[in-house]
Chain A
């Protein structure tokens, strides 16, 4: 496969007809919520485009994001995507290791200077100079700034890379932060989720490879096509929410009837993601459909937003100790006011003998 070969030639050489490429484009435009008429243009662009080099750096992560993207037991249309890009560096997948791997990384960066895509999973520990996560003796902090400098765009895959995720949960010992807190001069796409929905990455890559630009993003740099609405808005149990039919426990009559899980801590109303429509495991289901409330895993600091089973309606609990302190201050103030008032009242008893 030579660098100049177009995707179209490569696919033809491997027996993929242009029809399957058009079918792939139709599927992706539907997933990206683009008008169907965009499919032919996407297919044409894909055919003409070069294979885009992608460097995948793993920092303070659990490899859950990588697994969910590559797990496809049965090859789905999205997995074609990995034929369109050349994943040149991924520590878990590549054969090379140690010094050889580092050399490969340097070579890829040099060869595709300014053109490669940088995909990152895992948060970046920024405390104490980033000493809490090193690869080959170099801190993730340094590697990120060095390699991000020549990247065309940065994909933060998973809530950890996007917003700091679980490592950033209180008390955040390593000072973990998301990519957007460190990289500012590069276009960034956040694909949050713990793990993220696989189709989202394919959609973003296809959009980038075929149109050369990132898809439209929301205020949190997330692709609007997938994060524009909340799980609550897509949820098939929504009518129960509107009728006030709530499951009170996980095995009561309401739960069995498939009523709304709002009272059991579902974070659907404040969580933006595509689980409700694209669903998981090849469209089988998504957390709410399996009877458990949404955890809000694609939102920043989802770990610190009160318990997963505390309903959204509840505020963070008021410390009774604090309330006691406040009450004491109040009573003291009131007593002082009353005493000063009583002294004033007593002073008026100028006339002898008149009882208060």
Chain B
């Protein structure tokens, strides 16, 4: 049974599985605006109800977590600030970017971690924002559109990103500090990002299995990432702006180095 055979049968098993899920979802989702019925394939589910559910869960989770943090009582700061209010806001905004480039003195010790994570993050967003199909999705949602990278380039970048992720995982397992700090959330979040990139590469190759199965798997893995995002470590994608901004703002008050 070749892999493509398995994926083919996966498509059929999923049809049955999907049938039950769809009926259950249909009954329970009465309040949500009637969603047009999708065809009975895995791809239909992935691009239909699956996508809808993933987006709704992500949006709800994001709002919940952000509200839960930002609505805590703010500690008033009365000490005389070294910077004006505008200076503090500027400090906050600046740090959002400068903290991505560690000070030269730290590089000898964290160069590997910085290098690998930069390759991964730049690669991941280059795929997301450079891949033609991705731009189309964003275009359909927001109307924005910009030139895309050739498919070959995106595939090559995906390879690099995948390699960086595997190296980072190896480091997280091997390095004593990383092993001490790591929780199941780290590994689940890693997987939730690894699968979309992996299925993306397989999809671009279009050889392992039929286009539909690969596209369905790719979209499902993205949906897994979207659903996990607000509840685990992936939230740092949003919190990084708030957290760095807050430190930049507060340190600018003290004129302290950031």
Contact = CB atoms under 8 A, between A and B. Distances in A.
- A associates with B: yes
A270 B67 contact: no
B140 A244 contact: no
B61 A330 contact: yes
B254 interface: no
Interface stretch (A68-76, A139-147, A148-156, A320-328): A320-328
A242 B67 CA distance: 44
Interface of A: 170, 219, 230, 232, 241-244, 246, 262-263, 269-270, 299-301, 304-306, 310-319, 321-323, 325-331, 333-335, 337-339, 341-342, 345-346, 355-356
Contacts of B65: 330, 334
Contacts of A299: 39
B211 A339 contact: no
B215 A330 contact: no
Contact of A338 (B39, B57, B63, B68): B68
A330 B63 contact: yes
Interface in B38-55: 38-41, 43-44, 47-48, 51-52, 55
A312 to B, nearest CB: 7
Contacts of A313: 132-134, 136-137
A43 B8 CA distance: 36
Contacts of B219: 315
A112 B214 CA distance: 46
A316 B132 contact: no
Interface in B107-158: 132-134, 136-137, 140-141, 148-152
Contacts, number: 155
Is chain A's interface secondary structure helix, strand, loop, or mixed overall? helix
Q: How large is the interface on B (under 10, 10 to 19, 20 to 34, 35 or more residues)?
A: 35 or more
Contacts of A342: 71-73
A327 B71 contact: no
Interface stretch (B29-37, B160-168, B173-181, B186-194): B29-37
A305 B60 contact: no
Interface string B72-91: 11011000000000000000
B132 A330 contact: no
Contacts of B41: 300
21 contacts: A243-B152, A246-B132, A263-B136, A300-B41, A310-B140, A311-B140, A313-B137, A315-B48, A315-B219, A317-B140, A318-B52, A318-B56, A319-B33, A330-B60, A330-B61, A330-B62, A334-B68, A334-B71, A338-B69, A341-B72, A345-B73
B71 to A, nearest CB: 4
Nearest to A263: B136
B150 to A, nearest CB: 4
Most buried by A among B39, B48, B68, B152: B68
Nearest to B153: A244
Contacts of A306: 47
A334 B132 contact: no
Contacts of A269: 211, 215
B59 interface: yes
Contacts of A301: 38-40, 44
A170 B56 CA distance: 24
Nearest to B51: A315
B64 interface: yes
B137 to A, nearest CB: 5
Contact of B141 (A246, A318, A329, A345): A318
A230 B73 CA distance: 59
Contacts of A330: 59-65, 67
A327 B230 CA distance: 12
A304 B39 CA distance: 7
Contacts of B71: 334-335, 338-339, 342
